[in-house]
Structure 1
Amino acid sequence: MPKFCLISELMERGCISQCTDKIELLNSVKNKTLSIYCGFDITADSLHIGHILPLICLKRFQIVGHKPIVLLGQATSLIGDPSFKLEERILNTEESILIWKEKISKQISLFLDFNCDKNNAKIVNNKDWFNNMNILTFLRKVGKHFSVNQMMNKESVKRRIVSENQGISFTEFSYSLLQAYDFSELNRKYSVTVQIGGSDQWGNIVSGVLLTRKLFNRKVFGLTLPLLTQSNGIKFGKTETGTLWLDPEKTTPYKFYQFWINRSDIDSINFLKYFTFLSVNEIHSRWKVNMENNDDYWSAKVILAEHMTRLIHGNQGLLAAKRISSCLFSGSIENMLLTDFEQLKQDGIPYVELSGHEDLVQSLINSTLATSRTQAYNMINSNAVYVNNKMINNTKYYFKNDDKIFGKYSLLRRGKKNYYLLCW
């Protein structure tokens, strides 16, 4: 029976935003073996980095003996959670959701153990209980326990109601009741007593706590994790150029690695607490030594980037990301593989498709590294242009077959950091 106080550690790591009845929850987690769940709606064919923290949190519970349950909301995915969304979600088809569910299930296996003895992780589907429930049963069984006044006072709902351009449909308004019933049904079927989720789920989670008490007279708990946001306030699942996905076909290991390596030192320390199993004391002590010695051997952002990339993409994905990074920033590209260039083309650096007998000046214009032939001439004459990291100062230079790595790629660079991939 678990004795380690995980709630205290989560608090020390800054991983708890809110929880219901903190003292009783702390004692329950410490002295009992619990079933704990987190729900994910299937809104795309991949999870993104905003989903990592709750999955890591479930893993922490599993390590100390609790049973993690992941709810994939095939039913609720047909509705869409309105929590703090500015506009109505696009309704996806059942066929798409079913395909996406299989892909996401495989990604979840990166985090949780489904083959341990006593506390195997389990994936469940809320369509199992909603599929055979008609609207009258739902209204009588669930709807009667909720006040419309209270539902309208939820911050996420109020924002949509007062919006001049976008209200909220009854479909999305009812979402909170569906999630609440998920919690009560998981309590009935699997003895789940704790739900975790992002802080934007607090209202939905509390609704589930209350409904379970009203239906079964049982006490359950809710715990929310901080939403990870960037300096511009955008949720951590998004970046300036779009969502950072866990699927390598949507976000390459190289781009994934670069995202983490470019975090600030302070953010990297916080993320090490969130995402790794290094102790808080070890993180702070090693960081202190690093700062005192001005030594990059243990750089927080390097440790973070390596840990996160290995977790999602394995050792091969990490090696590829590090190889590409090293080759680009050291100026030596001899060790790059064909697959490395394919990653760069997918989302690593800008690229342009070229055909025929291209000259260097025109390629600078086509790649937008230069806005005119005059500017391109000036760049070349000032020794600022490189092809495959070799400086070219000939304004009449034409690309040769030797410039085409693997017969199809050339790296065009202006200055130290402005890369463009030429694809032949």
Structure 2
Amino acid sequence: MNEQPRTFKSEVLQELAWRGFIYQLTHDELDEELSQGPMTLYCGFDPTASSLHVGNLVAIMGLAHFYRHGHRPMALVGGATGLIGDPSGRSTERNLMDEETLQGNVKCIGGQLNTVLQTARALHVDQAPEDGEAVELVNNADWLKEWSFIDFLRDVGRHFRVNQMLAKDSVRARLEEREQGISYTEFSYMLIQSYDFLHLFKTRGCRLQLGGSDQWGNITSGVDLTRRRTGESTFGLTFPLITSADGKKIGKSLGGAVYLDGEMTSSYAFYQYWINQADADCGRFLRLFTFLPRAEIEALEQKVAAGENRGEVQQVLAREVTSLIHGPEECEKVIRASRMLFGEKIEGLNDRDLGSIFAEVPSTDVARERLEGGELGLLDLLVNTGLQKSKGQARRLLEQGGVYINNERVEDPGHVLSTGDLASESMLVLRAGKKRYHVVRCV
């Protein structure tokens, strides 16, 4: 591996270096090649789930930056390699998926990549072409499933040396786990990914592969295979593993992975993930996960360094990333929903969104028939939910103006709940005083 140059000639590597994307380069000559004109490149995404997650955002943003600088990126969805499982960055072998699950994941992730990259194209676009798809999507099952095992060994396997494969970090780390080891299936993954690079070079003129730092061994193997089979030079670039200031892997929360699919991680929870980032991480994450210009990011970094940030920088970060993944309109909806925790009227939400906002708030189930039949008084509900110990205390609190339904004050002690009090299909939010919330669910 060559050491990363301190300065670059090509505009795209200049920007990527400033933003913190570059970890390894296979050749210094890549900089000169990129400065000469458009280059075709790709990055692979294995369909291990039905949605990408925040950890994939570094690669997605990398593709988008190349696109914005006039290059031709492709996103490869591993319809074939997903059946094998990549050992890189793993201490144990992946569970193999069945074909139906895999194809469902391929479809979902392919659509997700297209949507996110098209949105990226519309946000802060500089030199990107005005017409056409932002990124071409390809599936390695289209060319790998045609091979027989014997033909693949003869035409591809003969170019690999087992001792060199054993020296790769992803393989060596697994071999050190004596009880687990590595299966021949996963050991062969490197050959398949290497052939992907060769195939895309021969059929699409692709000369650069992007990937995380854990993909270095697979990428360099593809560079070597292409050189042996064609005599031509190709390149590799890897991104660093992104962790927070406290050492946590990006994209992980207490509830598990933070997905890009709104059904798996709600847009509200996604927004809150970024709002809750530490000051120490905000500048780096603004560089990596937004298209904001350098001057604006550096001004925000200075605000943090001067101790003047009161959450405004996190709000910028959350707004930019949520707009990219879920769209500007959904982002504005989420921001408005966030204000509901601080007293804004709760309305216009569905059960999923309201549940996400008040996920940590205690809840009580009541029969829907009681609301439809006018059988549930507000004072009784305050006691039933535990917000007040007795109807007498509930009445006094209400007379003092301290009772709210969906953040709207209620002053009538004889108020009877109805379906008109619901803030979503089946939920309402009861509040006692300034901060004591309780969710009431109609079942």
Label 1:215 to 1:354 Cα distance change in 2 as closer, same or farther (>3 A).
Answer: farther
Q: 1:13 — aligned with what?
A: 19
Q: Counterparts of 1:232 and 1:171 in 2: how far apart (Å)?
A: 35
Q: How does 1:5-404 map to 2 (within 5 A)?
A: 5-21=11-27, 23-109=28-114, 110-112=116-118, 116-117=130-131, 121-163=135-177, 165-231=179-245, 233-288=247-302, 294=308, 299-329=312-342, 331-334=343-346, 336-339=347-350, 341-346=351-356, 349-350=359-360, 353-355=365-367, 359-364=381-386, 388-389=406-407, 400-401=417-418, 404=422
Question: How many equivalent residue pairs?
Answer: 409
More displaced 10-residue stretch of structure 1: 348-357 or 234-243? 348-357
Native 8 Å contact 1:338 1:406 kept in 2: yes
More displaced 10-residue stretch of structure 1: 379-388 or 42-51? 379-388
Indicate the SS of the match to 1:222.
strand
The amino acid across from 1:343 in the alignment is D
Label 1:151 to 1:174 Cα distance change in 2 as closer, same or farther (>3 A).
Answer: same
Label 1:206 to 1:406 Cα distance change in 2 as closer, same or farther (>3 A).
Answer: closer
Native 8 Å contact 2:193 2:218 kept in 1: yes
Label 1:328 to 1:128 Cα distance change in 2 as closer, same or farther (>3 A).
Answer: same
Q: Counterparts of 2:396 and 2:189 in 1: how far apart (Å)?
A: 63
Label 1:286 to 1:346 Cα distance change in 2 as closer, same or farther (>3 A).
Answer: closer
Label 1:405 to 1:276 Cα distance change in 2 as closer, same or farther (>3 A).
Answer: closer
Native 8 Å contact 1:61 1:67 kept in 2: yes
Native 8 Å contact 1:252 1:347 kept in 2: no
Structure 1 residues 155-211: Cα deviation after superposition (integer angstroms, max 9, x where no partner): 332332232552321111111111111111111111111100111111111111111
Q: Counterparts of 1:44 and 1:380 in 2: how far apart (Å)?
A: 52
Q: CA deviation at 1:269?
A: 1.0
Label 1:242 to 1:352 Cα distance change in 2 as closer, same or farther (>3 A).
Answer: farther
Q: Counterparts of 1:411 and 1:68 in 2: how far apart (Å)?
A: 47
The amino acid across from 1:299 in the alignment is E
Q: Counterparts of 2:262 and 2:95 in 1: how far apart (Å)?
A: 25
Q: Counterparts of 1:294 and 1:422 in 2: how far apart (Å)?
A: 39
Q: TM-score, normalised by structure 2?
A: 0.81
Structure 1 residues 10-53: Cα deviation after superposition (integer angstroms, max 9, x where no partner): 111111111111x2111111113210100111112211111122
The amino acid across from 1:304 in the alignment is L
Q: Counterparts of 1:31 and 1:18 in 2: how far apart (Å)?
A: 21
Q: TM-score, normalised by structure 1?
A: 0.84
Label 1:163 to 1:287 Cα distance change in 2 as closer, same or farther (>3 A).
Answer: closer
Native 8 Å contact 1:8 1:26 kept in 2: no
Aligned residues: CA RMSD:
3.6
Label 1:380 to 1:276 Cα distance change in 2 as closer, same or farther (>3 A).
Answer: farther
More displaced 10-residue stretch of structure 1: 123-132 or 161-170? 161-170
Label 1:361 to 1:231 Cα distance change in 2 as closer, same or farther (>3 A).
Answer: farther
Q: Counterparts of 1:281 and 1:200 in 2: how far apart (Å)?
A: 32
More displaced 10-residue stretch of structure 1: 128-137 or 273-282? 273-282
Q: 2:428 — aligned with what?
A: 410
Native 8 Å contact 1:38 1:54 kept in 2: yes
Label 1:78 to 1:217 Cα distance change in 2 as closer, same or farther (>3 A).
Answer: same
Q: Counterparts of 1:308 and 1:277 in 2: how far apart (Å)?
A: 9
Q: CA deviation at 1:58?
A: 1.1
Indicate the SS of the match to 2:385.
helix
Identity across aligned pairs (percent)? 38
Q: CA deviation at 1:389?
A: 4.8
The amino acid across from 1:400 in the alignment is L
Structure 1 residues 308-354: Cα deviation after superposition (integer angstroms, max 9, x where no partner): 1111111221111111101112x2324x2132x43132575145544
The amino acid across from 2:385 in the alignment is S
Q: CA deviation at 1:232?
A: 5.6
Q: Counterparts of 1:400 and 1:145 in 2: how far apart (Å)?
A: 75
Native 8 Å contact 1:255 1:348 kept in 2: no
The amino acid across from 1:311 in the alignment is L
Q: Does 1:423 align with 2:436?
A: no
Q: Counterparts of 2:192 and 2:85 in 1: how far apart (Å)?
A: 11
Q: CA deviation at 1:388?
A: 4.2
Native 8 Å contact 1:360 1:398 kept in 2: no
Q: Counterparts of 1:119 and 1:387 in 2: how far apart (Å)?
A: 48
Indicate the SS of the match to 1:111.
helix
Indicate the SS of the match to 1:71.
strand
Long gaps (5+) in structure 2: 1-8, 122-127, 371-375
